Amino acid sequence: MGKPKVYITRQLPQKAIDMIKEYYDIVGIWEEYYPPPYEVLLEKVKDIDALVSLLTDKIDKNLIDNAPRLRIIAQYAVGYDNIDVEYATQKGIYVTNTPGVLTEAVADLTWALILSVARRIVEADQFVKGGEWWRTKTGWHPMMMLGMEVNGKTLGILGMGRIGRAVARRAKGFNMRIIYYDKYRLSEDLEKELGAEFVDFETLLKESDILSIHVPLTKETYHLIGENELKKMKKGAILINTARGAVIDTRALIKALEEGWIAGAGLDVFEQEPLPPDSPLTKFKNVVLLPHIGSATTETRTRMGELVAENLIAFLKGETPPTLVNKEVLKIRKPGFD
């Protein structure tokens, strides 16, 4: 057999392309900024052995059924809610992701959002650039742009995995009380190291001044934060989401912001991406919106690309890919192309 064929659904850092090229025949790379339409993907997967996918590519049963030769889907992201992993497993298809290498970048961005919302950074920037500071001749005023003090407050973390923990570590410098809720409780040692206290979901909602979401999107976490939950939060609380948009019920969040149930929000992810410019979310001054750039640093994106390549190469050599998502697939098919 010649080199196995791979299709790549977006331009990746060159390092990754070079690594993949050595072992695979890259039959195509989707060159546009927008994702390949579903119909295009359906066509592309017909004759490939491997697919490099992004979170914007819907990889469902139908697509998998259209790809009889497909043996591995190497996702360029840690989240994989766009892939029907269960079905891929049934079909003996390996699914890999890129955990760990993006943790610090996402934690940094989470903190950028926390501070932006708490200290009204974006609003203040617009105040200066828009000329209002000049027009109002304010100079320095005791009541100008007052925000929320972060130091000493309670940080609530929903989902204390890799990113949740990295966010908690950064909170130490702000002398915060850290509480968390997760499906699984951390070890006592890790709790001690992080200075984090395990609480139930209800307490997390009620006691957090800043609530930061770090759970994956699953059937269980879909709309986990809805009207009931938002109503339980403090009026002065800030909600941060750098996980997945659909963990929050957007309609409920808009209502909460309109009616002042919470003080503000910082969002990197949305139920609909890209977010339409006429979304009600865009009208709130106390909301900071980012275009899903959690892992967007040159270093991290390069490392993610390398990990995608490492997974593809290990699979080709008959080894278990380093960051395999569906470990059960090992029982169904051995790694490698036949």
**Restricting to residues 166-205, which ones interact with ligand NAD according to CB under 6 A?**
182-184
Six-digit token string for 277: 């410019």
Least separation in angstroms between CB 120 and ligand NAD: 22
Under the binding rule (CB under 6 A), the answer on residue 160 touching ligand NAD is yes
The least CB distance from residue 210 to ligand NAD, in Å, is 17
128 Cβ contact list (under 8 Å, min separation 6) = none
H or E element that contains 19? helix 14-23
In the shown chain, the binding pattern of residues 69 to 88 toward ligand NAD, with x for contact by CB under 6 A and - for none, equals: ---------xx---------
Question: Which C-beta is closer to ligand NAD: that of 161 or that of 264?
Answer: 161
Tell me whether residue 240 or residue 256 sits nearer to ligand NAD (CB atom). Answer: 240
Cα R_g (the chain), whole angstroms: 22
Q: How far is CA 34 from the centre of its chain?
A: 18
Sort strands 264-267 and 25-29 into parallel, antiparallel or unpaired: unpaired
Contact criterion met (CB below 8 Å) for 112 and 120: no
The residue (of 149 and 193) whose beta carbon lies closer to ligand NAD is: 193
Gap between the Cα atoms of 134 and 118, Å rounded = 24
Cross-strand pairs, 210: 155, 238
Q: How far apart, in whole angstroms, are the C-alpha atoms of residue 338 and residue 330?
A: 15
Identify whether the C-beta of residue 267 lies closer than 8 Å to the C-beta of residue 82: no
Closest distance between ligand NAD and the C-beta of residue 16, in Å?
Answer: 17
Q: In the complex, which residue's CB is closest to ligand NAD?
A: 161
Q: Which is nearer to ligand NAD, 65 or 197 (CB)?
A: 197
104 binds ligand NAD (CB under 6 A): no
Query: Is residue 292 annotated as a catalytic residue, yes or no?
Result: yes
Sole binder of ligand NAD in the list 92, 216, 226, 322 (CB under 6 A): 216
Among 82, 116, 242, 323, binds ligand NAD (CB under 6 A): 242
Residue of 252, 241, 222 lying closest to 156 (CA atoms): 241
CA distance 304 to 310: 10
- Among 214, 244, 301, 303, the active-site one is 244
**How many residues bind ligand NAD, per CB under 6 A?**
30
Binding site for ligand NAD (CB under 6 A): 78-79, 99, 102-103, 106, 159-164, 182-184, 214-218, 220-221, 242-244, 268-269, 292, 294-295
Question: Catalytic residues, which ones?
Answer: 244, 273, 292
